[in-house]
Each structure stands twice: as structure tokens, then as C-alpha cells.
Amino acid sequence: MITALSGDTSDASRLRATVGFVREQDTATLLRLLLPGLDGPESRTLAEHCAFSHAALLVFPSDRAELEATLAGCGLVADAPPTPSVVVRERLAVRHKRSAAELDVGILRPAVECRDGERRTVEVFALTVPPGSELGEVAAYERERQHETHVAFEVGAPDPSVLRGLCAAFGRYGATPDGGGYNPHENGTVFYFAAPAEAKAGYRRVELYVPGDHRDLLDG
């Protein structure tokens, strides 16, 4: 199983592994790897309502030029400027007891052509760490722990009953809620889950991404 959770924690190595993982996977297979015991009609129902969209990681370039060079070295091209991250920036601020205002975190989603013919993305969170910055300690910690590494499924029809059903199904197969939030820059809500200990995908966190503002369901 290709996974980004390898012994080499350099940004380039983790990024190459993530690209390989995205290229190899498909929705139905990945759901079964993440949720042991999922099979039959419920597996098909989940795959109908949420599609594997990306795998994500957090990298730490010194500036935009270094970020673009790292992406290019892994065969990736960013076709748009970074979008400000809200959810990851706030998670980092809480984890490291820092002000969110001092954390410059952007999101890029370069595309990957996959073996099953689908076009998915690698979601790259980039925390800018200038040379000599005290944020170097944050980068070292996050590279080792990889808290923001995850795989994600996008929900096509953001109906409240569908969302509740998806969250309940994840829970029945051992996934536990792990926060989330709303990003006004993209008008999208993320629901995070911790994968069950028996998961075989190599990733410990799973995201459901839903277009629109669904904080009422997230809080509930």
C-alpha cells in the first residue's frame, strides 16, 4: 500500500508518496480500506454519495518560489494562487499556542491523473517558514506527527439528511469525529474523522468535504 506516512519526513518525499497514493486509489476500494467490515449495499450507498477527491499534507516552504519548485519536482502544477486556509491555520494555532494571525497557511490543489481515469487532486497546505524563523520548531513537530495528513471524500449532494447518514455510517464502522470547520474563502465545510485502528489505508484521518456552510450539523 502506497502511503504518505513513511519514514522520510522531507516535504518532497511526502509529496511524492501522496501523489502515488492518489493515483492508485478509487472510491470504493479506499472506503473499504478505511472502514473495515464495510461491504455490500452500504458500501455501494456510501460510494454513491461521496467520492474520493484528494489526499492532503502540510508542507513548509520558505517562500512561494520554493513551494512551486517542490511541486514541480513531484510533477505537480498549481493552476491558481494559494487560497487562505482557515481550518488548518486555526488547528495549528491551538496546537502550538500561537496567534492564528502569525501563521501564513495557504491551500493549493494540483491535479493528478489517476489509474481509474478520474482526475483527483493533492491538497497541499503550505505554512510559510522563512529562514531562521521560530516557526521552524512548528515545522519540525508537524513533519514528524503529520497531524494534517488525511484523505478526503467530497459529498455531491449536501442535503442535511445525506450528511447525517454519512456521518452515522462512518461511526458505525469505527471512525470517530475529529473536528472540522467552515472556510468562508471557499464556502465549504469539512468534517474530520479519526480512522479506526484497524484501517488499512495508511492514513489516520478522513475528511468529508461539503460545499456550503453546514456548521449547524458540525456543531450538532
CATH of the domain at 133: 3.10.180.10
DSSP collapsed to 3 states, 99-117: CHHHCCEEEECCEEECCCC
Write the DSSP symbol of residue 102: G
In a domain, 3, yes or no: no
In a domain, 151, yes or no: yes
In a domain, 76, yes or no: yes
In a domain, 189, yes or no: yes
More confident residue, 154 or 39: 154
Q: Taking the CA atoms of the chain, what radius of gyration do you get in angstroms?
A: 17
- Cell match 464495510: residue? 38
Average pLDDT of the segment spanning 176-188: 91
Q: How many CB atoms lie within 10 A of CB 122?
A: 23
Q: Which domain does 149 fall in, by range?
A: 11-219
CB 46 within 8 A of CB 144: no
In a domain, 6, yes or no: no
Q: How confident is the model at residue 2 (pLDDT cuts 50, 70, 90)?
A: very low
Q: What is the value of pTM for the model shown? A: 0.89
The total number of structural domains in the chain stands at 1
Average pLDDT of the segment spanning 140-160: 92
Q: What is the dihedral of CA 190, 195, 201, 206, to 10 degrees?
A: 0
In a domain, 156, yes or no: yes
The grid coordinates of residue 86 equal 482557515
